[in-house]
Amino acid sequence: MTGYVYILASGQNGTLYTGVTSDLQARVSEHKQGINSGFASKYGCHQLVWHERHDGIESAIQREKSIKKYKRSWKVNLIEALNPHWNDLFEICYDIDNPFQPTFTKRFEPTIANPALDHRHGGR
């Protein structure tokens, strides 16, 4: 089963929410409609600003856990590497011509020597 890790934002440089799902469009649609109350709904995180496809849900879950451990600045670098203008990728997340569709095999790892020591943006 395919898995997706995704990051939602409340706006450019706004609050970030990292999640995992087996159906990206359905899950982001739920966030946009406010179907599930929780962190993303409470803080208005409705823009899909980054996502990554995995061959298995287990791999996606591990990646989500890894991303959640990093500081906010690392996540901002991750987003801006593929989506520098923080566009909402929801409408094109399954398009074949989607330039943001992560089909690469090497995952992006921002060039911060030690993310735990990077305090430029603070917190998560």
Give per-residue burial for 35-57: e unless 16+ CB within 10 Å, then b.
eeeeebbeeebbbbbbbbbbeee
pTM score, two decimals?
A: 0.76
Strand ordering across the sheet containing 3-9: 16-21, 3-9, 47-54
Second-level CATH architecture of 3-98: 3-Layer(aba) Sandwich (3.40)
Q: Which residue has the tokens 């990728």?
A: 89
pLDDT digits (tens, 9 = 90+) for 44-75: 999 999 999 999 999 999 999 999 999 999 99
* Sites in the chain below the pLDDT cut of 70: 93-124
CA–CA dist 18, 70 (Å, integer): 11
Domain ranges in the chain?
3-98
